[in-house]
Chains A and B, each alone.
Chain A
Amino acid sequence: DVKVTQSSRYLVKRTGEKVFLECVQDMDHENMFWYRQDPGLGLRLIYFSYDVKMKEKGDIPEGYSVSREKKERFSLILESASTNQTSMYLCASSLDPGTNMQYFGPGTRLTVT
């Protein structure tokens, strides 16, 4: 069975902390994505990666960075967390997002206080 896992379901951090969100997929997919989802705004793409060590900015990359050192793992980093980064973070992977489905992880609910 296809699996995308995320390191935490719930996370509470303080303003200014560095935050790491990790995502692992077991499907050997090239493409991985990080989204945030907020009420009324839907899913917004932060970054995506189409290969190891490759990354592309999405619609809202400011305040975030990513790392993809291994094919199965895609990390999202908040260098200095701020309260406006409180959100649900969803990781997804896909073999070919143009023609195939995306598989999502269960999400991480991040609260920055």
Chain B
Amino acid sequence: RKEVEQDPGPFNVPEGATVAFNCTYSNSASQSFFWYRQDCRKEPKLLMSVYSSGNEDGRFTAQLNRASQYISLLIRDSKLSDSATYLCVVVRRGSYIPTFGRGTSLIVHP
């Protein structure tokens, strides 16, 4: 089983839709979680960290479920500009090394 797994998609949604992605991780010792966004032919950039209590940033909500070992990203009122690949990142306790998922592709159409 891969350490971090994501559905590659693509998720194809109309503008204004709500869409959610999950990311599962296999190592229960994981301690830090992030969502990155990567536009086509660009570098990944941090979208948001994921906290145990969940966190929200505008239209984006990230949640962590330690019992089931997954994190989620919810995007409300999707915009065309949200089209990108969303990368889940997990860091094990005591490790320097982030582990990246392969990404979930989102396409928002008019």
Contact = CB atoms under 8 A, between A and B. Distances in A.
Interface of A: 31, 35, 40-43, 45, 48, 50, 56, 58, 90, 97-99, 101-102, 104-107
B102 A42 contact: yes
A48 B102 CA distance: 19
A104 B97 contact: no
Interface of B: 8, 31-32, 34, 42-46, 49, 87, 91, 93-98, 100-103
A42 B98 contact: no
Q: Is the interface of B mostly helix, strand, loop or mixed?
A: loop
Given A41-B102, A98-B31, A98-B91, A106 B42 contact: yes
A110 B65 CA distance: 39
Contacts of A105: 43
B97 A43 contact: no
Given A43-B87, A43-B100, A98-B95, 8 more contacts: A40-B102, A42-B87, A42-B100, A42-B102, A43-B44, A50-B96, A97-B97, A107-B42
Contacts of B42: 106-107
Contacts of B49: 101
Given A48-B97, A104-B44, A104-B45, A98 B32 contact: yes
Contacts of A58: 97
Contacts of B8: 40
A104 B96 CA distance: 16
A99 B32 contact: yes
Nearest to A99: B32
19 contacts: A31-B96, A40-B102, A41-B102, A42-B103, A43-B44, A43-B100, A58-B97, A97-B91, A97-B98, A98-B32, A98-B91, A101-B49, A102-B46, A102-B98, A104-B43, A104-B44, A105-B43, A106-B43, A107-B43
